Structure 1
Amino acid sequence: MNGKVAIVTGAGSGIGRAAAIRLAAEGARVGLINKTEKDVQETRQMIEDAGGEALAFTADISVPAEYKQALEQITRQWGQIDALFANAGILGVVGPIEAIPDDEWDTTMTNNVKGAFTSVKYIIPYLKQQGKGSIALTSSISGTRVFSQQGFAAYSTSKASIAAFGQMAAFELAPYNIRVNIVAPGTIETKIQGTGNQMPEMKDMKVKKVEYPDGTVPLPEGNGTSDQVASVVLFLLSDDSAHVSGSIIYVDGSESLFVG
């Protein structure tokens, strides 16, 4: 990633932070975008302490004006943008479909789907200017391979939408030498659980549990880590994946094959 500028949204924790740190370690200058000032500044400090370069911005990617301003400042500083990891998102409302408030559904869709759309839409001109580029979006096994999570209708729908959007973008942007791929993590230890709103009606839902003897991830190591997802993001944003576009890469230790 030497000489490249990469943007990471949701860079304040979890997969976004791990990807930003990994990209910087491999030579990229990284533009960090996150809703929470404290978290994104911590990521910037970690990168700089390790000898990397980073700029940190507090912005809501579902608000185009905030995101566009961050991109403008990044290009003013570094003169280019080569790659995007559109990772920001929330778990959102968790509950029975008939009990989900309309505004809670809208909040999940706005943060996840509109956020991904905004992230990609406004970075395209910068990538076209470079004559090439790479985009990776964070989807999930939820809504693409797994449909057995009780109460996850909103989250899974948003993540399925991101996967579809990414594939449509890959086809549309291919003539401009811009690649788009989708990362679909399984159970990863991150802070996203803290962004959810579990409804009290969940206790009344009928649940048929599927249990693996040692959890739901067949690989002996169990749940995945943000660093493992970051390795895949690095591959997709680098020239090592030059002929990979429109792909959904599952990073789940084959969990989705078991619980789908």
Structure 2
Amino acid sequence: MSNSPRMSEKVSVVTGAGSGIGRAAALRLAEEGARVALIDRDSQFVESVRAEIEAAGGQAIALTVDISAPAQYREALKEVVSTYGRIDTLFANAGILGVVGPIESIEDDEWDETITNNVKGTFTSVKYAIPYLKEAGKGSIVLTSSLSGTRVFSQKGFSAYSTSKASIAAFGQMAAFELAPSNIRVNVVAPGTIDTNIFSSEDKEPEADDMNTKPVEYPEGTVPLPEGNGKPEQVANLVLFLSSEESDHISGAVVHIDGAESLFVG
């Protein structure tokens, strides 16, 4: 654990904590002293993250929850407060890639699934955490949007995903304004191409087979920084900063973390 923890005494809730950016953020928050509530719909993954945090000397609880089911999430937050006594920060990160394909081929229920998981799931995550953050006297909320839907609109077949991520960015800014009097900050991270497993949640339409639908397949050189694609740990560092007191005058920001990728592919 860190000798000078930046999140000491804080209780952090992380949704989508079982893998990718959520996992990396949970580990980073715990490393800096936070007691972390890990929320994910995959029990095996989230238990693995809990074990990893505890093996490093941190504190965490693992909760198997589908954030698109508000009743499950409300009960999970009650368990967090019962265990740790408070909630100080929320990283609302859970989401899916969803259907990819031409607009006219997307089924209504496929569109609804993406919007429900990403937009309503983020809304639910924030809505039911607010009373606990208000009880704590101050708080930080970080939402996961994307480069797609905020700066990049050239990915064929990504209309559902990009619409959901644009909505999350708008919701985050509205929430920042509304919650400011309660001393609750809300910021949005918008990653570019990050090496994660999000494509395991993709439901690609047959008509999209010949499309350039996967952003990790950009031609060499489109991510200007020499390292190429970003890593979940780099996004986690940004989440840590926005969750900590170091960013105590930052709210309503949409922070793109893309290695200048959008300068090439926007």
CA–CA distance in 2 between the matches of 1:206 and 1:169?
34
Cα distance, 1:203 vs. partner?
3.5
In the alignment, which residue of structure 1 is the partner of 2:129? 123
Aligned equivalent of 2:178, options 172, 180, 189: 172
Is contact 2:148–2:162 with CA below 8 Å preserved after alignment?
Answer: yes
Matched to 1:250, the amino acid is H
In the alignment, which residue of structure 2 is the partner of 1:184? 190
Matched to 2:53, the amino acid is I
Structure 2: runs of 5 or more not aligned: 1-6
Matched, 1:110 2:116: yes
Where does structure 1 differ by over 2 angstroms across 4 or more consecutive aligned residues? 203-207, 211-216
Matched to 1:152, the amino acid is F
From the superposition, tell whether residues 103 and 237 of structure 1 become closer, same or farther in structure 2 (CA, over 3 Å): same
Matched, 1:96 2:92: no
Per-residue CA deviations over 1:154-186 (Å, capped at 9, x if unaligned) read: 000000000000000000000000000000000
Aligned equivalent of 1:16, options 1, 6, 22: 22
Aligned equivalent of 2:12, options 6, 11, 23: 6
Is contact 2:155–2:212 with CA below 8 Å preserved after alignment?
Answer: no
In the alignment, which residue of structure 2 is the partner of 1:39? 45
- Matches of residues 76-225 of structure 1 in structure 2 within 5 Å? 76-203=82-209, 214-225=220-231
Matched to 1:163, the amino acid is A
TM-score (norm 2): 0.94
CA–CA distance in 2 between the matches of 1:50 and 1:204?
45
From the superposition, tell whether residues 204 and 50 of structure 1 become closer, same or farther in structure 2 (CA, over 3 Å): closer
From the superposition, tell whether residues 44 and 205 of structure 1 become closer, same or farther in structure 2 (CA, over 3 Å): closer
CA–CA distance in 1 between the matches of 2:203 and 2:129?
31
Is contact 1:112–1:158 with CA below 8 Å preserved after alignment?
Answer: yes
In the alignment, which residue of structure 2 is the partner of 1:249? 255
CA–CA distance in 1 between the matches of 2:21 and 2:211?
31
From the superposition, tell whether residues 75 and 257 of structure 1 become closer, same or farther in structure 2 (CA, over 3 Å): same
Is contact 1:131–1:176 with CA below 8 Å preserved after alignment?
Answer: yes
Structure 1: runs of 5 or more not aligned: none
Matched to 1:24, the amino acid is A
TM-score (norm 1): 0.97
CA–CA distance in 2 between the matches of 1:206 and 1:81?
42
From the superposition, tell whether residues 179 and 202 of structure 1 become closer, same or farther in structure 2 (CA, over 3 Å): same
CA–CA distance in 2 between the matches of 1:128 and 1:139?
24
From the superposition, tell whether residues 87 and 212 of structure 1 become closer, same or farther in structure 2 (CA, over 3 Å): closer
Matched to 2:20, the amino acid is G
Per-residue CA deviations over 1:176-225 (Å, capped at 9, x if unaligned) read: 00000000000001110110111111136699x9x976242111110000
Cα distance, 1:258 vs. partner?
1.1
CA–CA distance in 2 between the matches of 1:195 and 1:63?
18
RMSD of Structure 2 on Structure 1 (CA): 1.5
Secondary structure of 2:209 counterpart: helix
Is contact 2:150–2:165 with CA below 8 Å preserved after alignment?
Answer: yes
